[in-house]
Structure 1
Amino acid sequence: MVPLPKPDVILTHESDLDGLLAGVLLRRLAEAEFGERPRLEAWSYHGLRQRPMHETVAWVTDLSWESRMDRPHWVIIDHHPYETPPKHAHLIHDPHKSAALLCYELCRQAGLGSPQLDRLVHLSNVADLFLDSDPDFELASDYANLVKIYGFWNLMTLVDEQIERLLDHPLLEVMRVKRQVENPIGLAWSRENIVEIAPGVGLVETVVGNPNLIMHALLDDPGVRYSVLMTLVRRGNGAMAVSLRSRHGEASAIAARLQGGGHPNAAAATLPRSVRTPQDAVQYLRQVLNPKGEVHLNPLQDLFA
């Protein structure tokens, strides 16, 4: 393993299991290497863009690469696509591996692996890369949904940062039942409730079920004409965000236009603070994504109007 500098802070993604595992694993690695636990911060893509980058040394994981991170002694461990590689920061990158897997490979080189972590990182990798042909896909989705439902810091507190305790945790039974009962009901309802935002881009209203699994089922539905689907999410701080999904790599480009980021087929963006309601969100999304102010309405129903 190439020696890494002692970090002042570890920055990770707040919104999914991949970011949680990656952040915890990097903090364990730093503690093993340097005998101290660095500060761990979890951010959304939008929030990170507002954060000053004043640390001399930082490790950043599961957050889209941006030029402000291109600083000597900064280490970027990520799998999101980028256009221009860093000139000064040390980049550890593989688009075919989740951030947690990349961080775990570093941990294993330092002797910090275990069968429990092998299993947990595998499940996170399957969910984050949406490897729906993997036999563990449904179970992996349940694990990933833990962070979506209960939140990054709540889970960290619940397991006292001992992430191995998430394996076979009783809360997974809640996720399983929610998936089996809610998803079919939610899919049927959401199929009839899609708002056109721009040509090829639809906003899916969800009432029950896992929005990501519902969006992927809709993308496979020949009766749905949109190549990119998004859902609205209200963060714990009241901010509105959108989660985007596609099948052929279009999601990240749409997210970038909304000042967000992510994978080609799975991305997200936080909307401006002035967007406080679903109606505000529809108006804002249409203004940004339609050139010259053109508006394209769904002939079925404009739900939020």
Structure 2
Amino acid sequence: MARIVGYNKRTGQENEDQNEDLELPLFKLATIANATGNFSINNKLGEGGFGLVYKGTLADGQEIAVKRLSKISEQGLKELKNEVILFSKLQHRNLVKLLGCCIQGEEKLGLLYIHQDSRLRIIHRDLKASNVLLDQDMNPKISDFGLARTFARDETEGNTNRVVGTYGYMAPEYASDGQFSVKSDVFSFGVLLLEIVSGKRNRGFYHSDNKLNLIGHAWKLWNKGMPSQLIDACIQDSCNFSEVIRCIHIGLLCVQQHSEDRPCMPSVILMLGSEIVLSKPKQPGYLAHRKSTRPDSSSSMPESSSTNTITISELEGR
């Protein structure tokens, strides 16, 4: 018999208070994510008022069904808690047994919301440092959706003859062929991770020894077993070293040459928030140094032309 695990995506102090009232085993988010293939749509069993229900298999082989509370659900935490408490007290051979629950927040990035949880799937297409704003509490806010494209829930990618965005953050398949998808934004996010760790911009970065851009330089250091040399000197003495190295690793996974090799944003969030084993990154895209008269300018150009009527940019081939 399949067993149900209640899962809540919302965050805040209220969640912590709920844990005290639940007489059930509490599962880690990573455990549930691994069991369901990172909440893969291929594992969807159905959908109800709370959100989607996924099938999964725990590490011991036990099959489970996971009810996941959606952020846009009309039912909330109180209703979920009520179901969990009541269902945990019921035992009957014709009732599915409640195995446990997980009350843990996951939405740490607005990018995950627009890719997966909003009513429309949105691809930003111009994710870069200057489009991520910080509020007074240093919480990041994604801004500037002027170049964004919306998709139906069953659409995953698109093509355009008019490439728009900012060189240095564009995925290779988008800059060269106009192909964009959620993995295009993942590439841009990976560039941001490497920029945060290094304190350098990929756009305009030039290493005198190897003539590589920031991505290429990070890849070379990684292959040499010296990723720590990428860390900004300003944070080397105060940072959690292992976490920063993990961020470099995740950043390189996000900027891999081929879109199918990059993780999706739910997987990126899981990797950032847990200690699951990371796969070995493959060669990233855009290893060569690129020149520009402006280090952080959005561009708009026809696919068949290298002329930009808005800014002056030059993109050198790989």
Q: TM-score, normalised on structure 2?
A: 0.31
Q: Please identify the structure whose Cα radius of gyration is greater.
A: 2
Q: Which has the higher helix share?
A: 1
* Bigger RCO of structures 1 and 2 (CA < 8 A, at least 6 apart): 2
